[in-house]
Structures are given as structure tokens and as C-alpha cells.
Amino acid sequence: MSVLDQICDYCSHRSQAGTTGCSNCGAPLAKAAAPIAAAVSGFSGDPLALLGPVVASADKLIGPAGKSIEGAVKGAAKSALSEAGMRLPQWIAALVGVIAMAAAVFFLVNSCGPELRSGWTSPTRTLPQTLLSASTCSGPGEDEQCVIAAGNPLLSAGIGGGRELAYAARVVSPQQLSNDVLRWRSAGATVVADGTTFIAISPTWNIWYADSQSGLRLETGALPNAAAARAFLMRSGLLG
């Protein structure tokens, strides 16, 4: 290590040969800091520009809540970086910001409970247990496609017409749910329940279901007849 490598970039204190940190302020010495500095050598301007990949992960990890959380955390990080930039070299401020953001995202994801981490917008979480147990579902986030096998007891006695029954379950906004209900009414549906939960049987014997409390919108494939549709509503637990 040369004499220059022993001089701290932050406080200009000279340390003994063989040390990697400043004995006066604790900052990395030039040679020890080189690999880290190289990692952010392309950085210029706002240190928050380095946080993009970390911030973007918030939305993937915690769904729609990621946007509001991202804004709050990014605002806090910007304030911290502003203060840090006044007294630290720019590469240190950027590095601290990246670490702080990563730690914040990790903390938020792991402190919000299992429901949030596992996809709190999953529509199937609000389905009756009888229906959920009989279904095989797949799909991302707020939109799931489900199938009940033809041989499942839920479709026995001709309810399924010997075929599997598919249905789509989605969590939608209150406005979209209201628009869907209006559209179903105008299509000539037979209304079975009309309150917080709207349930109807379409002219082609599909089941239309909307729960204004959870935002759940469910629509099944066609059943053999109106009687089969009503029987399915009772068996599945959708009718209560």
C-alpha cells in the first residue's frame, strides 16, 4: 500500500500500513474502497437512480400495495441520501441508499403477515371452502382460472352434465364490479340474490357472482339447465 493509499479520502487522516479502514473515522481507505467504487463508477446525478431495480422489486413482491409502499420508502431514502450526500463522497451515499432500500423492502415484505406475502389479492381466498376444495386454480395475482373435474361430487347427479366445470375468479374495483352487475341485469339474468352479494343465472345457465365487500367477481361456464345451476349454487356454498 502506498502512502497515498493510507490517506483517508473523507477526513484526510493517515493510517498505518496494512489497515483497510481509517483509524480516525472508520471510512474505507482508497485501496479497500476501490472494488465498491468500481461497482458504482457509472453513477452520476441523483443517487436514487441506482435504486430502480430494488424499488421495482417491491411491486413484484407485494402486489398493488407495492406502489404506495415504494413511494413512501423512496421518499424516506431520498431524504436520507440528501443529508448523506452533504457529508459523504457520492459513491458512499449511493451505496448506503441501495442497502437502505433493500433492507426496507425486505422488512416491509416480512412484516406484513403471511396473507400479504402469499398474494393478498388472490380471489380464491374468499371462496367458500366447499368450492375451493373441489377446484384446481391457476393464474397470477387478481385473476385466477379454476376447474372442477367432471367426476367431482360437487357436479354429481347430472349437475355438471358429465363435463368439467370451469370458472373465472377475479378481484376487481368497485366501479368495475358495479358495471358488471348492471351488464348482467340488462342481459336478462335470473337474479337469485341481490344485496351485498349479487348472484344471477344467465339465459344460457352460467352463474354470475359479485361480492361488493371483497370485490370478488366469479363467472362459471354454462351448466345443463337452470335447475342444475341452482343446485350448484347450493352445493358450492356460493348461495350461503
**For residue 40, is pLDDT > 80?**
no
pLDDT band at 77 (very low <50, low <70, confident <90, very high): low
SS (H, E, C) the chain: CCCHHHECCCCCCECCCCCCECCCCCCECHHHHHHHHHHCCCCCCCHHHHHHHHHHHHHHHHCCHHHHHHHHHHHHHHHHHHHHHHHCCHHHHHHHHHHHHHHHHHHHHHHCHHHHHCCCCCHHHHCCHHHHHHEEEECCCCEEEEEECCCCHHHCCCCCCCCCEEEEEEECCHHHHHHHHHHHHHCCCEEEEECCEEEEECCCCCEEEEECCCCEEEEECCCCCHHHHHHHHHHHCCCC
Q: What is the pLDDT of residue 201?
A: 98
Range ranked top by mean pLDDT from 102-106, 114-118, 218-222: 218-222
CA 179 to chain centre: 25
pLDDT reading at 210 higher than 50: yes
**pLDDT given at position 25:** 74
* Model pLDDT for residues 97-115, shown as the tens digit of each residue: 555 565 555 445 444 433 3
Mean pLDDT for 195-217 is 96
> What pLDDT is attached to residue 53?
53
Q: How far apart are CA 32 and CA 7, in angstroms?
A: 12
CA–CA dist 228, 224 (Å, integer): 6
For residue range 183-195, list pLDDT tens digits in order: 999 999 999 999 9
What is d(CA 207, CA 199) in angstroms, rounded to the nearest whole number?
7
In 3D space, the residue among 193, 207, 175 whose CA is nearest the CA of residue 239 turns out to be 193
Phi, psi of 106 (to 5 degrees): -60, -45
CA 102 to each of CA 36, 68, 76: distance values in angstroms, whole numbers, following the listed order: 17, 16, 13
Mean of the pLDDT values across residues 200-210? Answer: 97
Query: Distance between CA 10 and CA 88 in Å, rounded?
Result: 7
Give the model's confidence band at 116: pLDDT under 50 very low, under 70 low, under 90 confident, else very high: very low
User: From CA 240, how far away is CA 236, in angstroms rounded?
Assistant: 9
For residue 197, give the nearest of 128, 102, 110 by alpha carbon: 128
